[in-house]
A and B are shown apart, each in its own frame.
Chain A
Amino acid sequence: MDEAVAEKINAAFCEVLNRQVFLFADPVPQGEFDAGEGAFQAATIGFRGEVEGRITMALPDSIVGEIAANFLGMDADDPFVTAKSGDACKELLNVACGHILTALKGDGPVFDLSIPELSAVDARRVGDWATGAGALPFDVDGSPVLLRIHWGPPDPENP
């Protein structure tokens, strides 16, 4: 990925993470990303406008509860937080996607965003994603988090 593009995406994502869920994210060099061994939640959202594509955000299960709790402003052990943790991840990506597109294309173009989707993935798959061209790895308060940008229409061979 072009370095200037990656810097804009990194800055937008880190700011949203900090403002929305009060977590600090640091970009990690692609070769140094270690997904570990735990399970991940992968939220994906599509965008269509001046450019088309989709963004996937992979979060380890170990941080999902904290993100949901901070997003909702509630205790992590609150049953509502537990029940809505996936929803919080999807909404976080929705917000991040809007800010990433503005960072890349300015406030002129209009983009239509899809309804975000969530799926469970294992660490090995996230590790594979991290070696791809559209991967942007982060350290979020000690946890491995990955953004994966795909430019162009959906590819059924590479979901």
Chain B
Amino acid sequence: MAYNILVVDDSETVRAVIAKALAISGVEVGTLFQAGNGVKALEALRREWVDLVLADINMPVMGGVRLVEEMKADEALRGTPVVIISTEGSATRIAELREKGISGFLRKPFAPEELKRIVDSLLGEGKPHG
């Protein structure tokens, strides 16, 4: 099954790296949407069907934390899983992000297999049943 994935990062380079990692990992991607900040991501989420959001924290205009807050406040979007991909190494910050409702966290640099493991755990074979 192919999934529609939204990659949110202010760096076009990082978005390209994540797109490449998804391709290498074997994750079946239907449409790969991209956004340069949280505001653009919300516009895309309200316009398109998205199965999973992969977002950075540190972005201009609207960062990843605020994006998660906005999504959780929106009934139509709160069920869409968000994985934060960041250089962040603070367990305190990651715990805060989990409390806000993120579904996963991936620290840069990451291997394509790590990305696939997270995607599978949320959407694919590894997804908990019930």
A residues in contact with B12, CB < 8 Å: 84, 87
CA–CA, A105 and B90, complex, Å: 9
Among residues of A, the one whose C-beta sits closest to the C-beta of B96 is: A110
Does the CB pair B91–A108 fall under 8 Å? yes
Query: Closest CB-CB distance, A36 to chain B, in whole Å?
Result: 26
Residues in B whose Cβ lies below 8 Å from that of A72 = 13, 16-17, 20
Beta-carbon nearest neighbor of B60 in chain A? A115
**Chain A: minimal CB distance from B113 (Å):** 13
Stretch at the interface among A26-34, A58-66, A96-104, A149-157: A96-104
Interface flag for A94 (CB, 8 Å): yes
Binding-face segment, B25-33, B47-55, B67-75, B81-89: B81-89
Q: Which residue of A lies closest to B56 (CB)?
A: A94
Q: Is the CB of A80 within 8 A of B16?
A: yes
**Once bound together, how far apart are the Cα atoms of A98 and B24, in whole Å?**
25
Give A61-90 interface residues, CB cut-off 8 Å to B.
Answer: 68, 71-73, 80, 84, 87-88, 90
Decide: A107 and B13 in contact? CB cutoff 8 A: no
User: Which residues of chain B are within 8 angstroms of A102 by Cβ–Cβ distance?
Assistant: 89-90
CB of B92 within 8 A of CB of A113, answer no
CB-CB under 8 A for A113 and B11, given A19-B109, A72-B20, A73-B20: no
Contact among B87, B89, B92, B96 for A94, CB-based, below 8 A: B87
Q: How far is the CA of A99 from the CA of B88 in the complex (A)?
A: 8
Do A90 and B11 touch across chains, with their CB atoms under 8 A apart? yes
Interface residues of B (CB under 8 A from A): 10-14, 16-17, 20, 24, 58, 60, 86-93, 96, 107-109
Which of A's residues lie within 8 Å of B, judged by CB? Answer: 16, 19-20, 68, 71-73, 80, 84, 87-88, 90-91, 94-95, 97-99, 101-102, 107-113, 115
Closest 10 CB pairs of A and B: A98-B87, A102-B89, A87-B13, A20-B109, A107-B91, A84-B13, A110-B93, A110-B90, A19-B109, A95-B108
Known contacts A94-B87, A99-B87, A113-B87; can you find 5 more A-B pairs with CB under 8 A?
A: A73-B24, A95-B87, A107-B90, A107-B92, A110-B92
